[in-house]
């Protein structure tokens, strides 16, 4: 437990630390605490506290004999009945979940901000900058009368006034937050898309090429003087060749479009050829927006914002890559040179939950590191004549 005056939300406190949450793509923070708010879920009904079954009321009174009963709800599902009773003790709200026999199954206890463990405070401080701590609850499971603290539910307020709810384990591990909501619908920008243009971190100009290497692996990406209409949008074709020990292992044609309004670059799909011994053996990862339920994703925001999270590919069960911007202002040295003010992204996919990859993008160049692959050469090249 800790007692640190900087946890106060008093703006006049000189030691007050502010934490700020940034989201990209117009996604907003909008999660407010339900406990103690008087709201009930759609499948719950409110129950007057004096009408609670005796076995339920007695269990609550036995657990908290000096507490005031504030409100109660009943939830019936599949012939099972569950009650949630809110009590107030020493000025703090406690939500108690019980079954119809009066057995307590869970507790949510309102705490003082100073009661947050240092591990939780430090973790939130690293993850969220310039947002203010508002409230905290301890969420416990109860088994045969024994309480086990599962996580803290922390309410933060961003500088724009929006609220965000974060779940944090006692050791500081963040297990859920509003930023876990990945933006996946970019249709609002569709009418402004074109096939040619330049984002500070992503170039769609014909002839621009980047070359990456790592030991025996080499990847060459070339913006072609070709377009393809995908999902009704004229997209720029970017060719990608991956070789190992000089042998072609993957060849793909990727389709991108850029917004004239925001500068954001969107990904409309790819046609993939997998090679083995100079022969095509598959097309793993092929997808196109507008087919089989697939939609276009975001590859690079016009204005990258820290902790922005978005889907790059929205092709169910085929390609569901997503990216989180985890750092801005990064410096990196590659064989092609040293780059400053870069954007670093962490890429994941729900199709492979345990896999993480990292990419770094430099202004005026684009991607300069892709996993272990580092940029060795970039610039304009002469494209073959059609």
Q: Which domains does the chain possess? A: 5-180 (3.10.450.360), 187-380 (2.40.360)
Placement of tokens 């196109």 in the chain: 288
CA angle 330–269–263, rounded 5-degree value = 45
Cβ atoms of 178 and 148 within 8 Å: the answer is no
Separation CA 20–CA 18 (nearest Å): 7
Q: Which two tokens stand for residue 16?
A: 């007050």
Separation CA 129–CA 8 (nearest Å): 16
Q: For residue 19, which of 172, 170, 155 has the smallest C-alpha distance?
A: 155
Question: Where does 35-117 have alpha helices with state H?
Answer: 54-63
Q: Dihedral sign, CA of 289, 295, 296, 299?
A: negative
Separation CA 127–CA 112 (nearest Å): 21
Q: Which two tokens stand for residue 277?
A: 């011994």
Q: For residue 189, which of 113, 301, 90, 32 has the smallest C-alpha distance?
A: 301
Tell me the helix, strand and coil percentages in the chain, rounded to 5. Answer: 10, 55, 35
Q: Region of 246 please: left (phi>0), alpha (psi -120 to 50) or beta.
A: left
Q: Which two tokens stand for residue 57?
A: 């009321």
pLDDT at position 354, please? 80
Which residues are registered as beta bridge partners of 183? 310
- Spatial CB neighbours of 43, under 8 Å, sequence gap ≥ 6: 75, 76, 77
Q: For residue 75, which of 102, 45, 98, 53 has the smallest C-alpha distance?
A: 45
Identify the helix (H) or strand (E) that includes residue 119: helix 118-127
Placement of tokens 């975001």 in the chain: 298
Separation CA 320–CA 227 (nearest Å): 23
- Spatial CB neighbours of 318, under 8 Å, sequence gap ≥ 6: 285, 286, 287, 292, 294
Separation CA 72–CA 85 (nearest Å): 4
Separation CA 6–CA 293 (nearest Å): 49
Tens-digit pLDDT string for the chain (386 aa)? 333 322 333 333 332 333 333 333 333 333 323 333 333 333 578 999 999 999 999 999 999 999 999 999 998 876 789 999 999 999 999 999 999 999 999 999 999 999 999 999 888 877 666 678 889 999 999 998 899 999 999 888 755 455 677 888 899 887 654 444 688 889 888 889 999 999 999 999 999 999 999 999 999 999 999 999 999 999 999 999 999 999 999 999 999 999 999 999 999 999 999 999 999 999 999 999 999 989 999 999 999 988 888 999 999 889 999 999 999 999 999 999 999 999 999 999 888 878 899 999 999 999 999 999 999 999 999 998 76
Q: Which two tokens stand for residue 98?
A: 């019980």
Separation CA 10–CA 95 (nearest Å): 27
Q: Which two tokens stand for residue 274?
A: 């997998």
Separation CA 154–CA 176 (nearest Å): 10
Overall pTM surpassing 0.75 (yes/no): no
């Amino acid at each position: 437990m800790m007692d640190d005056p900087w946890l106060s939300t008093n703006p006049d406190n000189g030691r007050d630390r502010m934490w700020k949450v940034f989201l990209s793509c117009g996604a907003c923070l909008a999660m407010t605490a339900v406990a103690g708010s008087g709201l009930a879920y759609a499948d719950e009904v409110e129950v007057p506290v004096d009408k609670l079954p005796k076995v339920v009321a007695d269990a609550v009174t036995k657990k908290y004999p000096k507490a005031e009963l504030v409100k109660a709800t009943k939830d019936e599902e599949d012939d099972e009945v569950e009650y949630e009773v809110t009590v107030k003790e020493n000025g703090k709200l406690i939500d108690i979940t019980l079954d119809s026999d009066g057995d307590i199954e869970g507790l949510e206890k309102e705490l003082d901000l100073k009661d947050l463990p240092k591990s939780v405070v430090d973790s939130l401080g690293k993850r969220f900058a310039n947002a203010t701590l508002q409230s905290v609850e301890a969420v416990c499971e109860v088994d045969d009368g024994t309480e086990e603290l599962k996580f803290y539910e922390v309410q933060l307020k961003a500088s724009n006034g929006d609220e965000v709810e974060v779940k944090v384990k006692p050791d500081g591990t963040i297990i859920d937050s509003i930023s876990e909501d990945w933006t996946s619908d970019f249709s609002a920008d569709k009418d402004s898309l074109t096939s040619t243009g330049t984002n500070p971190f992503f170039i769609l100009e014909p002839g621009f090429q980047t070359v990456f290497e790592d030991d025996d692996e080499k990847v060459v990406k070339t913006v072609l003087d070709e377009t393809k209409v995908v999902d009704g949008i004229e997209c720029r074709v970017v060719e990608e060749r991956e070789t190992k020990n000089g042998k072609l292992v993957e060849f793909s044609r990727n389709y991108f479009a850029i917004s004239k309004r925001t500068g954001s670059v969107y990904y409309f799909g790819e046609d993939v050829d997998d090679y083995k011994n100079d022969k095509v053996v598959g097309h793993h990862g092929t997808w196109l927006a507008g087919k089989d339920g697939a939609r276009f994703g975001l590859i690079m925001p016009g204005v990258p914002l820290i902790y922005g999270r978005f889907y790059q590919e929205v092709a169910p069960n085929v390609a569901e890559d997503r990216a989180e911007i985890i750092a801005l202002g990064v410096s990196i040295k590659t064989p092609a040179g040293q780059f400053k003010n870069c954007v670093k992204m962490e890429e994941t996919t729900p199709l492979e939950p345990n896999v993480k990859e990292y990419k770094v993008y430099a202004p005026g160049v684009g991607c300069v590191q892709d996993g272990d692959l580092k940029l060795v050469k970039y610039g304009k090249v002469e494209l073959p004549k059609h």
